[in-house]
């Protein structure tokens, strides 16, 4: 699928990937809110995500995340969106990924709604965002990522893929959202583990990352642990 036209696109027909995005750091209160939030993303990757979000914010387009969980990474996108005068959009059904279900390594009993006995991270996410003072800069879409993607039709400055880690989910996230990354916009993929010995939830994000590079539409900008930042420098996905 072809990338959508970008209203505020850079002047050149084919965007150049930034040679190395200059690092932008969140203010101490934002970093403290990120560190206090429930979630799995380490600070090193959070800082790389923030740098990407600030860079992408320059396009004047929304920043979209797949995989809200309790809002840890959303805080960083929201703060970058606030600075750029754009909106962060975050998509999650809030019922947790496979590895977060009861009995699995990444399960947190505090995420279970005792009345229905299923995970519900939406209240925790809302609390996180409220405490960080960032509610006004985020739209939360509650539902399945492919369903939301089917309704989406406008360009995005950044797509951050951190949803389900099975091939089915990661592929659907890529196919649903990557086509909306504007020229010069960024595609960020989390939990990319090239060495199977390093991975813990499967290598689907790595396969999606390879697919993005092989498409010729994306060029790598940065690698920070398992976080990969790619820039749209061509058409397709
Ligand atoms: C690894 S967590 C996200 C972590 C979050 N980005 C952070 O840094 O704290 C993955 C999230 O993706 C959500 N998820 C998994 N598959 C999904 C799907 N198909 N549609 C929407 N959300 C999904 C889960 O509910 C879970 O909250």
Residue 2 falls inside a structural domain: no
Residue 193 falls inside a structural domain: yes
Determine which one of 93, 94, 137, 165 is catalytic: 165
Task: Give me the CATH number covering residue 212.
Answer: 3.40.50.150
Residue 17 falls inside a structural domain: no
Which residue, by CA, sits nearest to atom 25 of ligand 1? 96
pTM of the model as a whole? 0.92
Distance 110 CA to ligand 1 centre (A): 16
| pLDDT the model gives residue 200 | 75
Does residue 64 have its Cβ closer than 6 Å to ligand 1? Answer: no
Residue 218 falls inside a structural domain: yes
Does residue 45 have its Cβ closer than 6 Å to ligand 1? Answer: no
For the CA of 69, the closest atom of ligand 1 is 27
14 is catalytic: no
Residue 109 falls inside a structural domain: yes
Does residue 39 have its Cβ closer than 6 Å to ligand 1? Answer: yes
Residue 237 falls inside a structural domain: no
Share the mean pLDDT of the chain: 92
Residue 10 falls inside a structural domain: no
| pLDDT the model gives residue 105 | 86
Model confidence pLDDT, tens digit, residues 120-135? 999 999 999 999 999 9
Does residue 128 have its Cβ closer than 6 Å to ligand 1? Answer: no
Residue 129 falls inside a structural domain: yes
Which residue, by CA, sits nearest to atom 16 of ligand 1? 164
In angstroms, the CA 183 to CA 155 distance is: 9
For residue 83, give its domain range.
31-232
The three-state secondary structure class of 230 is strand
| pLDDT the model gives residue 2 | 40
Distance 101 CA to ligand 1 centre (A): 12
Which residues are bridge partners to 220 per DSSP?
A: 230
Which residue, by CA, sits nearest to atom 15 of ligand 1? 164
Q: How many folded domains does the chain comprise?
A: 1
Mean pLDDT within 109-125:
97
For the CA of 172, the closest atom of ligand 1 is 19
Encode 210-233: b = buried (16+ Cβ within 10 Å), e = exposed. Answer: ebbeebebbbebbebebbbbbbbb
């Amino acid at each position: 699928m072809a990338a959508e036209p970008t209203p505020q696109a850079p002047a050149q027909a084919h965007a150049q990937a930034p040679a190395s995005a200059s690092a932008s750091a969140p203010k101490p209160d934002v970093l403290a809110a990120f560190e206090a939030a429930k979630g799995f993303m380490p600070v090193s990757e959070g800082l790389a995500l923030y740098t990407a979000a600030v860079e992408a914010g320059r396009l004047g387009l929304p920043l979209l995340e797949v995989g809200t969980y309790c809002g840890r990474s959303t805080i960083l996108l929201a703060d970058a969106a606030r600075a750029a005068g754009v909106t962060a959009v975050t998509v999650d059904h809030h019922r947790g990924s496979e590895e977060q279900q009861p009995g699995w390594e990444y399960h947190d009993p505090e995420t279970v709604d005792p009345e229905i006995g299923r995970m519900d991270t939406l209240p925790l996410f809302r609390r996180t965002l409220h405490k960080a003072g960032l509610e006004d800069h985020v739209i939360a879409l509650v539902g399945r990522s492919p369903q939301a993607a089917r309704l989406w039709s406008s360009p995005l400055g950044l797509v951050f893929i951190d949803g389900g880690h099975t091939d089915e989910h990661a592929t659907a996230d890529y196919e649903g959202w990557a086509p909306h990354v504007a020229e010069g916009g960024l595609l960020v993929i989390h939990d990319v583990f090239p060495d199977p010995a390093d991975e813990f939830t499967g290598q689907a994000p790595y396969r999606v990352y390879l697919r993005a590079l092989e498409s010729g539409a994306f060029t790598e900008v940065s690698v920070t642990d398992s976080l990969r930042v790619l820039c749209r420098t061509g058409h397709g996905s």
